[in-house]
């Protein structure tokens, strides 16, 4: 039997970038050392914000064989797999739900690797071994549960266990089927949807709005500052404080210029809205958006149509435009299932949550099936 030991780091800076990136690679911009370091350096992920870094190091026979981004959490904000009801149930029974161990990328509901393991170790591991190691680590840290969010297929295979808590969600992703242009993509849609999208784009243009793209280090300070104002507005409209600060976006521009891409909307020589994208090896990630005034269809154009054009131009296979958003369906984004795995130490709550997650999964699968029926693709291209 292959056994593993998990040790923890209180800061990403306690491991050098080469050692971490040996396991994370560079294909996913959220997993590399530079991204996690930017979050910590700018004070976005600290104990004070409820995101105490507790990154996992996997050892076998005293040799480092893997890493995972992880945090001890004192709340459930910024995760996008919602467990507020779980925490409330604990509170009503006078039980502590926090701290909890979260294995995820902060503020990022995007599928990717979470257990960044050496291939030879992954091939030898079973789900029992992985779950036991995570359970032991959680108990040692004084946490009451662990939660691993948005794993990719490789991790999903490694985590799949019939006796553990498995949650399913649904997002909407756009897939590039070798399109040469935006019009090439539109040709695969029904006539009604083609006309609707063309009308939306035309109406944006008729409002005198144009777009400028900025890549990485070429982004001027004034443009980045304007984007941050728009980003803040998105949260303030909902009565929330933004998770990230301007310093983080500046760090991102410095540390990961090859991944950063900004789309800014302009009207009469003034910036009026912006959307931030990150580019991976095969996926475009639409992350943040904001505006100060409302314009017809501006959100769809800035966040989705400009993103689709960018994905086509960069020959990226997939466009992940973020969580939620049924309005994406009629614009060609397809419903895909996302996953998360959980363990709670309390046996009574584990039993209750087993039934909860099973019922939830059935509802989500039914929702995905219904969503598939309203996709706008022509039958001969589906």
DSSP 315-341: T-SEEE--S--GGGGGGTPEEEEEEEE
Going by pLDDT thresholds of 50, 70 and 90, the confidence category of residue 3 is confident
CA distance 339 to 344: 17
Q: Return the CATH number of the domain spanning residue range 5-169+337-372.
A: 3.40.630
- Tell me the β-bridge partners of 267: 209, 270
Average pLDDT, the chain: 96
Question: Of 149, 329, 187, 192, which Cα lies nearest the Cα of 321?
Answer: 329
Ordered alpha helix ranges (H), the chain: 17-24, 33-41, 84-92, 119-124, 127-140, 153-159, 182-186, 191-206, 221-236, 246-255, 298-299, 306-313, 347-372
Rg (CA), the chain: 22
Q: What is the mean pLDDT of residues 39-55?
A: 98
Which has the higher per-residue pLDDT, 1 or 327?
Answer: 327
- Tell me the β-bridge partners of 351: none
- Show the CA angle centred on residue 287, arms to residues 285 and 290, nearest 5°: 140
**Token pair 């046996």: residue:** 347
Q: What is the mean pLDDT of residues 350-372?
A: 97
In tens, the pLDDT along 261-295 reads 999 999 999 999 999 999 999 999 999 999 999 99
Here the tokens at position 181 are 């242009």
Q: Are 159 and 129 in contact (CB under 8 A)?
A: no
Share of the chain above pLDDT 90, in %: 96
| Phi/psi at 333 (5° precision) | -85, 130
Question: Of 307, 305, 218, which Cα lies nearest the Cα of 258?
Answer: 218
CA distance 61 to 269: 62
In tens, the pLDDT along 315-347 reads 999 999 988 788 999 999 999 999 999 999 999
Specify the fold of 177-316.
Aminopeptidase (3.40.630)
Q: Could you give the residue range(s) of every CATH 3.40.630.30 domain in the chain?
A: 177-316
CA distance 73 to 53: 9
Confidence check: pLDDT of 111 > 70: yes
């Amino acid at each position: 039997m292959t056994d593993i030991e998990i040790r923890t780091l209180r800061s990403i800076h306690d491991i050098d970038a080469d050692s971490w990136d040996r396991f994370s690679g560079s294909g996913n911009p959220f997993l590399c050392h530079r991204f996690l370091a930017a979050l910590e350096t700018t004070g976005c992920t600290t104990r004070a914000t409820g995101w105490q870094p507790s990154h996992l190091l996997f050892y076998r026979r005293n040799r480092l064989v893997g890493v995972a981004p992880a945090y001890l959490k004192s709340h459930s904000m910024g995760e996008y797999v919602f467990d507020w009801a779980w925490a409330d149930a604990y509170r009503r029974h006078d039980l502590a739900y926090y701290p909890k161990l979260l294995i995820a990328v902060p503020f990022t509901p995007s599928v990717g690797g979470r257990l960044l393991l050496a291939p030879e170790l992954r091939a030898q591991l079973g789900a029992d071994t992985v779950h036991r190691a995570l359970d032991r680590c959680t108990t040692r840290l004084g946490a009451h549960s662990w939660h691993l969010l948005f794993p990719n297929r490789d991790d999903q295979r490694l985590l799949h266990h019939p006796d553990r808590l498995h949650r399913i969600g649904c997002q909407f992703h756009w897939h590039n089927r070798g399109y040469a242009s935006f019009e090439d993509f539109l040709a695969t849609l029904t006539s009604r949807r083609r006309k609707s999208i063309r009308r939306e784009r035309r109406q944006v243009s008729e409002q005198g709005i144009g777009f400028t793209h900025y890549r990485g280090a070429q982004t001027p300070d004034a443009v980045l500052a304007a984007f941050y104002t728009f980003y803040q507005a998105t949260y303030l409209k909902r009565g929330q404080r933004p998770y990230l600060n301007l310093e983080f976006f500046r760090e991102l521009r410095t540390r990961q210029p090859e991944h950063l891409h900004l789309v800014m909307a302009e009207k009469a020589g003034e910036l009026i809205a912006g959307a931030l994208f990150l580019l991976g090896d095969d996926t475009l990630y639409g992350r943040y958006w904001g505006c100060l005034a409302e314009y017809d269809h501006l959100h769809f154009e800035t966040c989705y149509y400009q993103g689709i054009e960018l994905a086509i131009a960069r020959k990226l296979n997939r466009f992940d435009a973020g969580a939620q958003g049924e309005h994406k369906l009629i614009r060609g984004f397809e419903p895909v299932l996302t996953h998360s795995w959980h363990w709670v130490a309390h046996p009574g709550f584990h039993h209750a949550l087993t039934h909860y997650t099973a019922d939830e999964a059935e509802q989500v699968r039914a929702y995905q099936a219904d969503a598939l029926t309203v996709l706008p693709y022509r039958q001969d291209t589906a």
